[in-house]
Amino acid sequence: MDFTLTKEQQDIVKAARKFAKGEFPDRAAEFDREEKFDLEIWRKACDLGFVGVFIDEKYGGAGYGFIEHCLINEEFWAVDPGMASAILSTCFGSELLILFGTEAQRQLVLPKIVEGQAIVGTAITEPDAGCDVTGAVTTAVKEGNQWVINGTKMFITNGTVANYLMLFCQTDPENKSRHNRYSFILLPTDTPGYKATKIRGKLGIRASDTAEISLSDVRVPFENLIGTEGQGFYHLMEFFNRTRLHICAQAVGLARAALEESIRYTKSRCQFGKPIADFQVTQFKLAEMATRIRAARNLYYEAAWLADQGRLDHALTAMAKWYSGKMAVECADEALQMHGGYGYIDEYKVQRLYRDAKILEIYEGTKEIEKTIVANALLK
């Protein structure tokens, strides 16, 4: 097996690293503190081709695979998770259009994403439906040639800034199979009856927009249905088996940042007459962090490579998502521990990494859900 990146992939990594290091450090703390983001930086990223690299060239994208998107995620998150999330989540949901959308839907939305003219998101979670997506009660009812949508969505990325949302909702609530009640609908957010309220006070990735969505008699054309009616749950599972790979890359990037901050600090911080990096206990911590990072990267490399080959391995993706999130939380925790009291104040980047890390074990499938997927595969 050859784990070497191609020359083109190496160039993508270098370019992503250069952009992130040039744009993120000076404003990361500001965006975290004020829970906002400057969209001009996002537009720069679009101009340089970092957003939606997996979108086909016919729609203006680079036509790369999910592995390239993962590589960009890793490099961006290694500099600042909050800003990285704010930029790269702007294409979150485009995968549904690529997989299941009509040509008209793709032509409408995909070019705008890569050109920096539109932000998208995916509206799945509800106040009483998180991991159990079949508990979602938002409805879309047919009236003539339209869908009439009512309901509430919670924790929706880009809810207040998106131009389009891929909305997961019940289109056949009486169906005996809970899994066959749902569909996805393309929802322009300028449609009357749509209301988004920004959620403030998040623990981490505070630069990224998160909102509660209220839908009151929202009307969209029938042709806004994405994929097959009643197959929304299955479309969602296919979607997650790709997007969860991005979370793995995010986790590796964050853990890298935690390791780099730890190395820098422990070489300069002296106790008992010498740098704390000279103590074996510190060296062991650094060695363990580096090993965990390498293991997580190898997991997501293999899973992403298989996805790009059209050979999705659901259990492997779940392993990678669970392990990488756990690994990132552990590395951030160790990094803060090595910083001691200094790690507890916002003068040091490590406190932000510590807060940003936890979401990696929660969104797009909690660690418990991922373990369940792995266990089910084993027990089959």
Residues annotated as part of the active site: 364
CA Rg, the chain, in Å?
21
Q: For residues 212 and 228, what is the distance between their CA atoms, to the nearest angstrom?
A: 27
- SS3 assignment, position 215: strand
Contact criterion met (CB below 8 Å) for 93 and 242: no
Q: For residues 289 and 275, what is the distance between their CA atoms, to the nearest angstrom?
A: 19
Output the CA torsion sign for 156, 161, 166, 172.
Answer: positive
Q: Which helix (H) or strand (E) holds 221?
A: strand 210-221
- Would you state the torsion angle of the CA atoms of residues 58, 88, 133, 233, taken in this order, to the nearest 10 degrees? 10
- SS3 assignment, position 123: strand
The answer for residues whose C-beta is within 8 angstroms of residue 181's C-beta and 6 or more apart is 134, 170, 171, 172, 173, 174, 175, 230, 233
DSSP 223: G
The answer for residues whose C-beta is within 8 angstroms of residue 269's C-beta and 6 or more apart is 275, 276
Task: Report the alpha-carbon angle 296-122-58, nearest 5.
Answer: 85
